Amino acid sequence: MKTLAFKMKLKPGCRDEYKKRHDEIWPELKELLKSSGVFDYHIFLDDETDILFAVQKVDGDGGSQDLGMNPLVQKWWSFMEPLMETNPDSSPVTIPLEEVFYME
């Protein structure tokens, strides 16, 4: 098991809609994430900067951002694109973060 962390950027004024869409996450997407080994997934928002901070535990080699070839994930990315900074393929721009401290 490993823990991955990354940041993303929300567009100004999109906080409530972003939260609403995640509160109503598609059950089939949630199942895909779980079956791919992604669990204990949190996303936090810094309201001052609109920076999203995500952390997830993963069983296996990849995390949620490695599922981009899946049509369901591509559909989700397109659904979320109006709310976030994205790449040309509609995937969210993500910046991996290095772990510099851990306390058990």
Known active-site residue 22: yes
Compute the distance between CA of residue 87 and CA of residue 79 in angstroms, rounded to an integer.
14
Query: The tokens of 100 are what?
Result: 């510099």
Using an 8 Å Cβ cutoff, are 83 and 89 in contact?
A: no
Among 2, 19, 22, 42, the active-site one is 22
Which residues are marked as active site? Answer: 22
